[in-house]
Structure 1
Amino acid sequence: MPTDAAPRDAGRGTLPDVTSSDAALRRFLHGLPGVDAVGLEARAAALGTRSIKTSAKAYALDLAISMIDLTTLEGADTPGKVRSLCAKGASPDPSDRTAPRVAAICVYPDMAATARRALADAGAGEINVASVATAFPAGRAALSVKLADTREAVAAGADEIDMVIDRGAFLAGRYLQVFEEIREVRQACGDAHLKVIFENGELATYDNIRRASWLAMLAGADFIKTSTGKVAVNATPPNTLLMLEAVRDFRAATGRQVGVKPAGGIRTAKDAIKYLVLVNETAGGDWLSPDWFRFGASSLLNDLLMQRQKLTTGHYSGPDYVTVD
C-alpha cells in the first residue's frame, strides 16, 4: 500500500489554506493520492496474520479493554440499562480487581446525565461519558438542531461527542458545507472532545474515506470514527488502516495528533488484537493509548474478559461468567 498520502509540503508542519472556498477544498481533497485498493486490503490481511502470545497477549487484552467505548444505542434503552452498563464499565470483572476500566460509556444524549451520575456513584469519574449527537445515526436534521443536540449533551455531562457527517452533502461534493458543519459542532462542544463519524459503508469508496478523514481533521476533529454500527458495513481492517494512515500523515503535515475509533462488528478478542497490530504498524506506538484509539463496542468486552481469564487460569469461563448486555 503506498504511504505517500500526505501533501508534498507535509514535512513543513503547516498546510496551505485549503478551506477558503469550496473550490479550494475540492482541489485539495481530490488532489490526495488515490487509494490502491488491492494493496490496502493485502496489507490489512497480512497484518491480521500476526500472532501475539503470552505476556504480549495479556498486555494487548488489557489495553483493548481500556480502549473500549462501552456502548448502548437502542430505542429501548432505559436508565436501569445505562446504570448497569456503567457498573460493568467501572468494574468489568468483579472477581478480579486488576481488570482495567473501560475508556467511556457511550449513550444517547438523553441518557448522558444518567451515565454521569452512575459513574460518579461507582467511584469511576475518570471514565468518560460519550454521547452521540447531531441527529444520530442518519444526520438528517437542520444545523441548528444538531448544535442544540450537541450543547444539551455537553450540558448533561458528556465529555465526548460522537457526531455524524451529512453523507448526502459529502457524496454530492458539498465539501465546504460538511467542513463548516463539523467546525460549528466542534465549537459547540466546548471542552468536550469531538469524534466525527463517516459511516464508511455509505461512503462506498476508499478514496472517499481518505477525503472524509482529511476533511474532518482540517475542521478540528479530535477523533475520526468509522461508522455508527447501524448499517451493513461498519469497521473493517482495510478502512481502519486507511484512516490510521490519514492521521499519521496529518500529524506529519500539521503537528496535530488525531485519534481513530473503529466501531461496529468488532466482537472478539482476536479481532481487537488485529486492530491493535494495525495501529502499531501503521500509525505507531504513539496511538496505542485510549487517548488516541478506541473501540466502539458492546459485546467485545465479554470476550476480552473470557480470554483474559483463560490466560490466568488455563481454561475458559463458564457461560455465566460474564453478563449479557
Structure 2
Amino acid sequence: MSPLSPLTAPSGLPTVPAHGPDAAARLATLADVTASDAALRRFLHGLPGVDAVGLEARAAMLGTRSIKTTAKAFAIDLAISMIDLTTLEGADTPGKVRSLCAKGVSPDPTDRSAPKVAAICVYPDMARIAKDALGDSGIHVASVATAFPAGRAARSVKLADVADAVAAGADEIDMVIDRGAFLSGRYMEVFEEIRAVKQACARPDGGAAHLKVIFENGELSTYDNIRRCSWLTMLAGADFIKTSTGKVAVNATPANTLLMLEAVRDFRDTTGVQVGVKPAGGIRTSRDAIKYLVMVNETVGDDWLSPDWFRFGASSLLNDLLMQRQKLSTGRYSGPDYVTVD
C-alpha cells in the first residue's frame, strides 16, 4: 500500500457513471468492435454520457485533500520520477537538449538522493542528441511525432516522422490524433492511423517504442468526446493516453484527467489491458502535481502510481518540486538561483 493510500475520498460524492454490467459482452472481442466503421461508431456512441457536474465536483473535491509531511515527501519524489522533462520549441539547440538531459539525470546536484525523471521529451531531430546524452542512465527518450502539434500532414509523412524518431533511438513516441477526422465522425480513419503509427514504432531488434496518443482535449470540446476518444485510442493499441500538446489554451485539467483515469480503469476491467495516462500542459507546481497523484490513487489505485503508468508532461514543474523538496528537508527555501532556468 502506498503512503497516499489513507487518502480516501469522502462518501456521497457524485461519480462518473460506470460502463455497466453489459460492457464485457459489448466488448466480447476487440475484433467485433473494430470490424467496421459502423460497429466502431455504434460502440463509441453507445458509451454512457458523461455526468459533467458529477465529474467536475469529484475532481474539485479530490483537489481539496491534504497530505501530511511523510506522505508529501513521498509524493514529491514520486512526481519527480514521473516527469517527462520537455523542450518543444523552435529555438531548441543540441546544447539545450544536453543540458536538459543532465538535469533529468541529476535534478538536484546538491542532493544525490533526488530521483531521476522518467523521460526527456524532444522533437524527432533532437532524439539522437538526447539518446547519446542520457547514455545508460535509464531515462527514456520520448519524441513527439506525426506532425506535432497540429497533426496536419499526410499519413505517409506522419509515419516517416515516427520512423525517423525510432531510428534515432526514441523509446517512446508521443503522437497527435487527427482531431479534424475525429470531430467529423471519421472514427475508423483515426483508429487505422493509430494502428499504423503503432506498427511504425517497431524496432529492428524486435522491440518497439511505447506509443502515447495525444487527444488535445481543448479541441475535443466535450467530455463525451474525450471519453469516446479514450476508448477509441485504447482499442487501437495506445500504451498511454495523453491529454494535450501544451500548445493550446486548454490543456490538462483535473476534470479531463479524471475522466481519462476512469476510462483506463474501465478498459482494464473490461479487457484486462492496462493503459497509462499522461496529463500535459499547465501543471507547474508541487501542489498541482500532488492533487493529480491523489486523483490517481483514489480513482485507479496503486497499480497506476508508477512512472510506467502515469506521467507528467512538464517543463517547469520540476523546479518547483525541487524547491518544495528542499524545504521539507531543511525547513527553508533557497534563493531563486537554487534551480536552473531551462
Matches within 5 A, 1:204-243: 204-243=221-260
SS of the aligned residue for 2:121 comes to: strand
- TM-score, normalization: structure 2? 0.92
SS of the aligned residue for 2:84 comes to: strand
Does 2:175 align with 1:175? no
Which one of the candidate residues 76, 80, 83 is aligned to 2:98? 83
Which one of the candidate residues 119, 141, 149 is aligned to 1:137? 149
Shift of the 11–87 alpha-carbon distance from structure 1 to 2, 3 Å rule, reads farther
CA distance in structure 2 between the partners assigned to 1:250 and 1:36 by the alignment: 18
Aligned residue in 2 for 1:67? 82
| Residue 14 of structure 1, CA deviation | 4.3
CA distance in structure 2 between the partners assigned to 1:26 and 1:13 by the alignment: 13
Aligned residue in 1 for 2:115? 100
Tell me if the contact between 1:6 and 1:249 (Cα under 8 Å) persists in the aligned partners.
Answer: no
Unaligned 5+ runs, structure 2: 1-14, 203-207
Aligned residue in 1 for 2:12? none
SS of the aligned residue for 1:42 comes to: helix
Question: What's the C-alpha RMSD, in Å, of the aligned pairs?
Answer: 1.2
Aligned residue in 1 for 2:199? 187
CA distance in structure 1 between the partners assigned to 2:185 and 2:61 by the alignment: 34
SS of the aligned residue for 1:208 comes to: helix
- TM-score, normalization: structure 1? 0.97
Does 2:277 align with 1:260? yes
Task: Name the aligned partner's letter for residue 172 of structure 2.
Answer: E
Does 2:50 align with 1:35? yes
Aligned residue in 1 for 2:11? none
| Residue 9 of structure 1, CA deviation | 3.5
SS of the aligned residue for 1:275 comes to: helix
Number of equivalences? 322
| Residue 2 of structure 1, CA deviation | 2.9
Q: Can you list the C-alpha shifts for 1:165-184, whole angstroms capped at 9, x where unaligned? A: 00000000000000000000
CA distance in structure 1 between the partners assigned to 2:61 and 2:247 by the alignment: 28
CA distance in structure 2 between the partners assigned to 1:156 and 1:6 by the alignment: 44
Q: Can you list the C-alpha shifts for 1:139-197, whole angstroms capped at 9, x where unaligned? A: 00011011110011000000000000000000000000000000000010011000000
Aligned residue in 2 for 1:319? 336
CA distance in structure 2 between the partners assigned to 1:183 and 1:246 by the alignment: 19
